[in-house]
Amino acid sequence: MDSRALVESFTDFAKQKNIDRPTMIRVLEDVIRAMIRKKFTLDDNFDIIINVDKGDFEIWRIRQIVDDESEDIWDHDKIPLAEASKIEPDFEVGEELTEEVKLEEFGRRAILTARQTLIQKIKDLEKDILLNAYNDKIGEIVVGEVEQVTPRDILLLDAEGNELVLPKYEQISKDRFRKGDTVRAVVVRVEATGSQPRIVVSRTSPKFLEKLFEQEVPEVYDNLVGIRKVVREPGERAKVAVESFDDRIDPVGACVGMKGSRIHAIVRELQNENIDVINFTDNLELMIARALNPAKISSMKVDAENKRASVFLRQDQVSLAIGKGGQNIKLAGRLVDLEIEVYRELEGEELDDDVELAEFNDEIEEWILEEFRKIGLDSARRVLATPKDDLLRRTDLEEETIDDVVRILKAEFERPAEPTAEAASEEAPAAE
């Protein structure tokens, strides 16, 4: 293989991989210099001329001519006069001898090794280019075509033919894709594993929903409306807190669009995920109320230090606040970064005959009563209105202890009223 064949095979391969000309020349020179060092040990007295257009290169060795008796004749960049005279009789001591080194002088094995090294370096460059390109795209939406579907993941190809991986856990549960389908997803990470980078994309990430808003809502794209936070149960429900940077723009209206035109496009992409768009506010209590929509809150207590909020609602509003499978309250809590606890508000007769927990200190130990007060339950009716599982989760009490407390509290309301003196006299049998 001569220099022309080596360069041509290298440049063809490099062009297929979209490697630019300066990088091609640098890589080719590095490989040639490595070949020189293997044969001559040092390469600092070699010049390499690469002509990619002509498809060849030249290697020139430069040495200084010294006297035959000189101590420097063994230096790598020196040549004795007698040896130089065999090349050109007119040479004199002190002149430079420049001679071309042909590729064939390195031997067939060295040339084949150089060719393999060039190809490997191009593959490494391609890997680095891909890594850098997709590292810059983390958090951005990409479009890929389904190439292969497996139980564990879906393999996508982008417009340049690069492989993207959509793992099962990053897919919406309702997603069903076939080979040839076009898929939109957000880049979440790039893993430099093996010879090929693993580019992982997601359709369940909150960032995906945020970027969909950016694509569908011009005000978000133009930074007139900002997205403060996104929380999701992928494919089921999501809450998006938005704010306006322009007093003339309603952020919720801008995101929803006329008759829901903008939000519907996003909902369809997310397999009919129910999306609540909420107007962000720094008023925490108002934000909690908006996050629990459509439930109407009667009152609340916020314990910011312990990151808890106790919310009281009418009986018909409790199920709305909790939502299907607890989704609404769970997402609301994540949106405001608090643990939200829902209580049924006592009404009418229940409120009239409620009893403070302090009244039971003769039957229930004080430290047990204090456990209930810590979570906002300060009356018997409120404790009885709270599910047992909720009491177990939120207090440090054993199940047996809670059962005893509930039994005592229930007994209070089941106990028949004591008759008055007048009623007792009427019921007493007449004296014989």
Enter the tokens of residue 103: 């590729």
The answer, yes or no, to whether residue 228 has pLDDT greater than 70, is yes
What would the CATH number be for the domain defined by 3-131? 3.30.1480
Cα–Cα distances in Å, from 428 out to 25, 418, 419? 117, 15, 12
The answer, yes or no, to whether residue 336 has pLDDT greater than 70, is yes
> Residue 263, Cβ neighbours under 10 Å: how many?
20
pLDDT for 51-92, tens place per residue? Answer: 767 777 888 999 998 998 888 888 888 889 888 888 888 888
How, if at all, do strands 198-202 and 182-191 pair?
antiparallel
Q: Give the pLDDT of residue 430.
A: 43
Q: Is 100 helix (H, G, I), strand (E, B) or coil?
A: strand
CATH 3.30.300.20 fits 207-341, yes or no: yes
Domain ranges (residues) in the chain: 3-131, 140-204, 207-341, 349-414
| Top CATH class, 140-204 | mainly beta
CA dihedral angle for residue 103, residue 105, residue 110, residue 112, rounded to 10 degrees: 50
What would the CATH number be for the domain defined by 349-414? 1.10.150
pLDDT for 23-58, tens place per residue? Answer: 778 888 888 898 889 888 898 999 988 876 777 788
Q: Which long-range contacts (CB under 8 A, 24 or more apart) does 147-152 make?
A: 147/179, 148/179, 149/177, 149/178, 149/179
pLDDT for 346-377, tens place per residue? Answer: 555 555 567 888 888 888 888 988 888 877 67
Residue 344, strand partner residues: 313
Residue for token pair 């090294």: 117
In contact, 315 and 347? CB cutoff 8 Å: yes
Dist. CA 320–CA 178, nearest whole Å: 37
pLDDT for 138-184, tens place per residue? Answer: 999 999 999 999 999 999 999 888 899 999 999 999 999 999 999 99
φ, ψ for residue 237, nearest 5 deg: -155, 150
Q: Give the pLDDT of residue 350.
A: 53
Residue for token pair 């257009």: 53
Strand blocks (E) in 266-307: 274-279, 299-303
Residue 226, strand partner residues: 243
Q: Give the pLDDT of residue 149.
A: 94
Pick 432 or 220 by higher pLDDT: 220
**Roughly what angle, to the nearest 10 degrees, separates helices 21-40 and 108-135?**
140
Dist. CA 101–CA 80, nearest whole Å: 18
Cα–Cα distances in Å, from 348 out to 351, 352, 416? 5, 6, 20
Enter the tokens of residue 182: 């076009």
Q: Give the pLDDT of residue 328.
A: 92
Q: Give the pLDDT of residue 166.
A: 96
Q: Is 238 exposed, middle or buried (0-12, 13-18, 19+ CB in 10 A)?
A: buried
Cα–Cα distances in Å, from 170 out to 152, 165, 206, 261? 10, 10, 11, 27
In contact, 203 and 234? CB cutoff 8 Å: yes
162-200 burial, b at 16+ Cβ within 10 Å, e below that, comes to: bbbbbeeebbbeebeeeeeeebebbbbebeeeeeebebb
Dist. CA 134–CA 314, nearest whole Å: 51
Q: Give the pLDDT of residue 423.
A: 42
